[in-house]
Structure 1
Amino acid sequence: MKKALDIRRKQLWYRSTHTGVKDTEIILSQFAKQYLESLEESDLDQYEHLLNIEHNLLYKLITNKKIPDEEIDNSVLQILRILHQKS
């Protein structure tokens, strides 16, 4: 089980740092560096769900330029928003 989580974290790390949208990559890579190793599986699910969103839309959600739907307004998105505000 631990090996599967390690592989998943590596995949999420890669996706965080290769979005094709530089501003999004900066925020996501900062999040991944600080939090990815300590996230529980349910949080990894939330993060992966966010990474599946089109990246320009995700950037708008993180920067509060768009209000998120209930299904994607989760604790990981809140952390991403805080990281953006601090940068």
Structure 2
Amino acid sequence: MADITDIKSIVYTEKTLGLQENGVVVIQTSPRVSKNSLKEMLKEYFGITPLKVNSLRTHAKVKRFRGRAGVRDALKKFYVTLPEGVSLDKQEA
């Protein structure tokens, strides 16, 4: 079962900032997170029920740097569509 520590970051790039204007947030997680577990995490931690969740898997990739082999991490990106007027700011109770 995935938990909140599996969320790596929220992606802030030029493309994702354009998506955020339309209510879509891009979240990077570890590969073991599923759509359903991400929905549960968002509901439990942020109190938000997303309208739609799309996922994109990035496989680990071997790259060379100065003749030495290294491995990029495997990640999953989720495109989460939030209800209108909702953000991912942690609400204090």
TM-score, length-normalised on structure 1?
0.26
* Larger proportion of helix: 1
* Larger proportion of strand: 2
